[in-house]
Chains A and B, each alone.
Chain A
Amino acid sequence: DQQVKQNSPSLSVQEGRISILNCDYTNSMFDYFLWYKKYPAEGPTFLISISSIKDKNEDGRFTVFLNKSAKHLSLHIVPSQPGDSAVYFCAALDDKIIFGKGTRLHILP
């Protein structure tokens, strides 16, 4: 029973366009959300986070949106660059952290 779902295993986006990665959750008690990026043979690295009291957080090319009523968050990357090709994990927390299974993003030249 997955509490954090990333329903798209993979996504391909043209370089320069916007990448939108989605994440749904089931537990309304989650109060903090994070996105991590992972390259092959490396550990995940933290990208951006958002508290449940906010609906948007922006850091450079990366913006996370939170829709609490829909229990949905998304990560927007604009413009997409070749180095953004990686697996992206969303994670949600109440007293423990739960990760989604990830979405593999391919940035096409």
Chain B
Amino acid sequence: DAGVIQSPRHEVTEMGQEVTLRCKPISGHNSLFWYRQTMMRGLELLIYFNNNVPIDDSGMPEDRFSAKMPNASFSTLKIQPSEPRDSAVYFCASNPGTVVNQPQHFGDGTRLSIL
């Protein structure tokens, strides 16, 4: 039973470059969440989707960040242009329902380093 799959696991790139993080949620799950984890701020919710529709993107830090969910089995989080302060671990999670109070299943994260 495959869990949430994120790629790449690690990404190192120079500032100014475009970064695309990918997520495949658990099949049949209706909600998908993107999080960022840093030492300073802990685990922060960036955006979540219900049935492929963005519901709350108030956690997206700035316009350089965008997320899409073109279908039920794939989502991307894009940073363009990237900056050193974007360095963090980015997690994707999914849950079966359409409400946030159901336990979420997390992927293993993408560790992003912007030089």
Contacts and interface: CB of A to CB of B under 8 A. Distances in A.
A99 B42 contact: yes
B68 interface: no
B106 A44 contact: yes
Contacts of B4: 43
A42 B108 contact: yes
A43 B106 contact: yes
A46 B105 contact: yes
Interface residues of B, number: 20
Interface string B80-115: 000000000001010000001101111111000000
B42 A100 contact: yes
Interface in B26-52: 33, 41-45
A36 B56 CA distance: 22
A7 to B, nearest CB: 13
Contact of B109 (A34, A43, A89): A43
Given A32-B101, A43-B4, A96 B106 contact: no
A81 interface: no
A45 interface: yes
A101 B91 CA distance: 15
Given A34-B103, A96-B45, A101-B41, 16 more contacts: A36-B106, A43-B93, A43-B107, A44-B43, A44-B106, A46-B104, A46-B105, A49-B103, A89-B42, A95-B56, A96-B58, A99-B43, A99-B45, A100-B42, A101-B43, A102-B42
